[in-house]
Structure 1
Amino acid sequence: MSPCRSKPQVYSGCDDGSRSGRLRTGGRQIMCELAGDGVYLSQFVTGTSNGGRTAHPGGDRWRWESRIFGGAYDHAPAEERPVYGARRLPCRVGWHSGFRLTVEHLRRHPGYRGQEYVALGAEIAVDGLLDPRIIGAAAGTGRYDSQGLKKVRHCVARFGSSLAGEK
């Protein structure tokens, strides 16, 4: 069995109680699992998606995989389905310091994802700043559309600067 197909082990060294990370089915933060287990899991295992949540029998993702893999995994358990999206598995997984973006800088780029996401970013910002923790906290409130927050996150990733070396 390859390292990327091994059973995930319990890892609890990541939860700071903020619940700001994306959670998979079962409540564990996805990035904590990646860092602790070093195993890249499919959407069928995590129950999450960066787009539509269609990784279930009969869903769009399931039908697409059925077509491209010739039905080979149609009846396979989630843990045995193909894992892709990372290069040359097994892959080393690690943390980086993330990015942050000022609302001032965000306002310079309304054409990237749209003015409504600039406004959303400004609304959820803390002290004029956006970072993954802030976006995650906004998601945790349930008051904001997850697809809108995803587009704000795109802006932070595209125009933000590294937090490396900051205290």
Structure 2
Amino acid sequence: MTVNLFARAIAHVEARSAGPALDAALRVTLNFHPDRAAGGVPILAALARERIYSSQFVTGTSNGGLTAYPGGDRWLWESRIFGGEYDAADPRLRPVYGALNHRGRSFGAAPRFGSAHFRLTAEATARATFCFPDSAGEPADFGTARHMGLIPLATADTGRRNLDDYIEAHVHGPVRVDGDVEALVLDPCYRGTDVEVAAELLPCPVEWHAGFLLRVEKLAAYPEFRGREIVELGRSIADDGWLDPRIIGEAAATGQYDPQHLKYVWHCLARYGAPR
């Protein structure tokens, strides 16, 4: 039974976890770009129709690395973390990725992966497992809702940038927009756009954070972060010298730019233009 599959995967992580129970007030957030498409369908339209937030094993898309296939890095990481429980499972049963918002950020716990986020319910957060650093770093420290010792580790690790300081979360069991989501939280640059119209069709409340906004002069002050080529790309797509998530999304929709390079422009905006 699928319930047993999820329980076994969580139990495997819990056996390697330590610490007190997770504060019930904390939430997992799922950051993503709300103006992108999956399989040619706008992501919010797909969510309104299917009402399930799926992993890259299903969508074939990601704001991180695309390695969700048998033998790929994502597949190997999950096999290691979950004791092989998902190795032969239907891809639709695999966990979805988010982060624990223990820092209380209005824009979500892991802006590296997008300007918008779903804030999950306490019940969905309770069926998550956690690791620090994220699964790409072959972590040795894990947590669950019953044993969460990762927050002191993450807080003490001050060497990580604000894009990398998150506690990764894996939510087991289907994440339903109409039952597991407290709110969709959007950047205000999408007010009055098709994104807002699509968001209002979702079966969850819509909220707004303070907004990501970056002047190109400030972007140019940090060429060492993602390279001078990325600074020049940001300058070329900017609107009157400013960058925000909508501008990057519109550039992505043209198909004229390397998606990896636009992702790096977003990283610059998320790091240096984060709302306070």
- Name the TM-score, length of structure 1 as normaliser: 0.71
- Matched with 1:10 is none
- Matched with 2:96 is 83
- Matched with 1:50 is 63
- Matched with 1:64 is 77
Structure-1 separation of matches of 2:75 and 2:274: 37
For 1:83, the aligned partner's letter is V
1:92 maps to 2:182: yes
Alpha-carbon distance, 1:30 to partner = 5.3
Structure-1 separation of matches of 2:76 and 2:39: 21
Structure-1 separation of matches of 2:182 and 2:53: 10
For 2:94, the aligned partner's letter is R
Structure-1 separation of matches of 2:99 and 2:45: 14
Alpha-carbon distance, 1:109 to partner = 1.7
Relative to its length, the structure with more strand (as a share) is: 2
Over 3 Å counting, the alpha-carbon distance change for 1:109 and 1:49 in structure 2 is same
For 1:92, the aligned partner's letter is E
Deviation per CA, 1:12-52: give whole Å up to 9, x if none: xxxxxxxx712223513259839x94x54322133211232
Q: Is the 8 A contact 1:55 1:61 kept in 2?
A: yes
Structure-2 separation of matches of 1:117 and 1:32: 31
Secondary structure of the 2:186 match is coil
Unpaired stretches in structure 1, ≥5 consecutive residues: 6-19
For 2:253, the aligned partner's letter is G
- Matched with 1:128 is 241
Over 3 Å counting, the alpha-carbon distance change for 1:125 and 1:31 in structure 2 is farther
Structure-2 separation of matches of 1:150 and 1:31: 22
Alpha-carbon distance, 1:110 to partner = 1.5
- Matched with 1:17 is none
Relative to structure 2, which stretch is displaced further, 74-83 or 21-30? 21-30
Structure-2 separation of matches of 1:67 and 1:161: 34
Matches within 5 A, 1:149-164: 149-160=262-273, 162=275
- Name the TM-score, length of structure 2 as normaliser: 0.45
For 2:42, the aligned partner's letter is R
Moved over 4 A (4+): none
Relative to structure 2, which stretch is displaced further, 76-85 or 120-129? 76-85
When the two chains are superposed, the root-mean-square deviation of aligned CA atoms in Å is 3.1
Q: Is the 8 A contact 1:99 1:132 kept in 2?
A: yes
- Matched with 1:104 is 217
Deviation per CA, 1:33-77: give whole Å up to 9, x if none: 39x94x543221332112321112232211221232232112211
Over 3 Å counting, the alpha-carbon distance change for 1:106 and 1:138 in structure 2 is same
Over 3 Å counting, the alpha-carbon distance change for 1:68 and 1:30 in structure 2 is farther
Secondary structure of the 2:214 match is strand
Unpaired stretches in structure 2, ≥5 consecutive residues: 7-33, 101-124, 127-179, 188-210
